[in-house]
């Protein structure tokens, strides 16, 4: 059967059960795409986040493909803008058959062509990071999307000894010594541990990456972490000095759908010059997660926007895995004006933050 735009269905809360069934079955599914997680991201947003869900049903009346696109509507400019929503993946999802069955290749092409044209028409700007199991972006290329290669680093946790042996020899020594020197723990997220984490993370982003996060970000994050923790989907790991001061914190999201622990955010005391701390914290967390939850087989150490960070993860023996980022920009004077205004505001905020940090 040839698909046409009428086959594309807008999804709402009434479709949640079918949506979550697709998330659980799709190779591109992850905990980030569960209906409850999407709803939580909306309700905790400080900036009126919207989420547009649409999909295509098969003959069995089950969803065979779906896409959830987080976006903001800028009423003054009448623009729909999607920059993602802070979690890892928000790309298209296909069921097992469309993903793996070579006899369904034409059906898959039709589905992705519909998704591509619908999103390109609906949004003035969109960037969508695809799950690594999404391996065929051709229909987006044909419709003039900008398809960018990204990659992340991952540990295979199914054999901890084999993974540890892949680490560069000096990193193995650092981790052994770090585990002996510092105190590591899986801690409950609460007012004190959250305050310690955000202080370290904000400092790390500012001094290491030149990124200044505003108060809205801090206000959004706490209820999100607490909610995720209540869902057994989030863990906080810490490293402490001998005098019990927190010197590094790592937030990990557990995703049973793709058997992955996502190392989401890490912050460390920038006055500490000990290269053992963060590698030891990473390994402690990975080992603890694997031993306490056999469903988790991989640790996703995240992307590496800087060469130094990439080399650090190479030395940790992590495998680099390619993914696709889909970008579509609908040129217009309104969009140009909005992006110029946004960039100017970000520059002003960064300058203010730098001046405050020097005061």
Query: For residue range 236-288, what is the model confidence (pLDDT) as tens digits?
Result: 999 999 999 999 999 999 999 999 999 999 999 999 989 999 999 999 999 99
CB 249 within 8 A of CB 202: no
The pLDDT, as a whole number, for residue 338 is 72
Nearest CA among 47, 69, 56 for reference residue 18:
56
- CA 213 to CA 337: how far, in whole Å? 23
- What is the average pLDDT value for the chain, to the nearest integer? 93
Nearest CA among 290, 191, 283 for reference residue 237:
283
pLDDT-flagged residues of the chain (< 70): 1, 85, 349-350, 352-359
The pLDDT, as a whole number, for residue 216 is 85
- CA 175 to CA 282: how far, in whole Å? 9
CATH topology of domain 5-144+323-358: Aminopeptidase (3.40.630)
- CA 343 to CA 55: how far, in whole Å? 34
Nearest CA among 127, 62, 87 for reference residue 260:
87
CB 67 within 8 A of CB 54: yes
Q: Please state the three-class secondary structure of the chain as a single string.
A: CCCCHHHCEEECHHHHHHHHHHHHHCCCCCHHHCHHHHHHHHHCCCCCCEEEEEEEECCCCCEEEEEEEEEEEECCCCEEEECCCCCCCCCCEECHHHHHCHHHHHHHHHHHHHHHHHHHHHCCEEEEECCCCCCCCHHHHHCCCEEEEEEEEEEECCCHHHHHHHCCHHHHHHHHHHHHHCEEEEECCCHHHHHHHHHHHHHHHHHHHCCCCCHHHHHHHHHHHHHHHHCCCEEEEEEECCCCCEEEEEEEEEEHHHCEEEEEEEEECCCCCCCCHHHHHHHHHHHHHHHHCCCCCEEEEEECCCHHHHHHHHHCCCEEEEEEEEEEECCCHHHHHHHHHHHHHHHHHHHHHHHHHHC
Nearest CA among 268, 270, 272, 271 for reference residue 251:
268
Query: For residue range 320-335, what is the model confidence (pLDDT) as tens digits?
Result: 999 999 999 988 887 7
The pLDDT, as a whole number, for residue 72 is 92
Six token digits for residue 176: 């052994």
Is the CATH number of domain 153-317 3.90.1170.50?
A: no
Nearest CA among 131, 45, 126 for reference residue 94:
131
Question: How long, in residues, is the chain?
Answer: 359
- Per-domain residue ranges for the chain? 5-144+323-358, 153-317
Q: Half-sphere exposure (CA, 13 Å, Cβ side) for 157?
A: 26
Domains 5-144+323-358 and 153-317 share a fold: yes
């Amino acid at each position: 059967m040839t698909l046409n735009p009428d086959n594309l269905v807008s999804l709402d809360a009434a479709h949640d059960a079918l949506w979550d069934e697709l998330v659980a079955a799709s190779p591109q599914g992850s905990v980030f795409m569960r209906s409850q997680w999407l709803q939580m991201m909306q309700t905790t947003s400080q900036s009126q986040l919207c989420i547009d869900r649409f999909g295509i049903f098969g003959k069995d009346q089950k969803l065979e493909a779906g896409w959830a696109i987080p976006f903001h509507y800028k009423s003054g400019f009448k623009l729909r803008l999607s920059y993602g929503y802070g979690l890892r993946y928000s790309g298209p999802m296909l069921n097992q058959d469309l993903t793996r069955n070579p006899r369904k290749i034409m059906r898959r092409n039709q589905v992705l062509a519909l998704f591509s044209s619908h999103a390109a028409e609906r949004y003035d700007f969109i960037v969508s990071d695809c799950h690594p199991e999404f391996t065929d972006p051709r229909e987006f290329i044909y419709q003039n999307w900008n398809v960018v290669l990204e990659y992340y680093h991952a540990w295979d946790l199914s054999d901890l000894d084999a993974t540890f042996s892949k680490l560069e020899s000096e990193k193995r020594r650092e981790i052994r010594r770090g585990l002996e020197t510092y105190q590591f723990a899986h801690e409950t997220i609460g007012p004190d541990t959250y305050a310690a984490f955000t202080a370290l993370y904000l400092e790390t982003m500012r001094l290491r990456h030149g990124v200044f996060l505003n108060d809205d970000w801090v206000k959004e994050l706490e209820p999100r972490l607490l909610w995720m923790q209540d869902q057994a989907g989030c863990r906080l790991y810490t490293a402490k000095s001998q005098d019990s001061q927190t010197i590094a914190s790592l937030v990990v999201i557990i995703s049973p759908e793709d058997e992955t622990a996502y190392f989401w955010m890490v912050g460390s005391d920038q006055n500490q010059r000990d290269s053992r701390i963060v590698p030891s914290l990473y390994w402690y967390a990975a080992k603890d997660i694997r031993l306490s939850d056999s469903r988790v087989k991989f640790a996703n150490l995240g992307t590496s926007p800087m060469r130094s960070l990439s080399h650090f993860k190479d030395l940790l023996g992590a495998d680099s895995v390619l993914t696709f980022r889909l970008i579509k920009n609908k040129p217009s004077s309104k969009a140009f004006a909005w992006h110029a205004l946004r960039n100017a505001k970000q520059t002003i905020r960064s300058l203010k933050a730098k001046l405050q940090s020097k005061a």
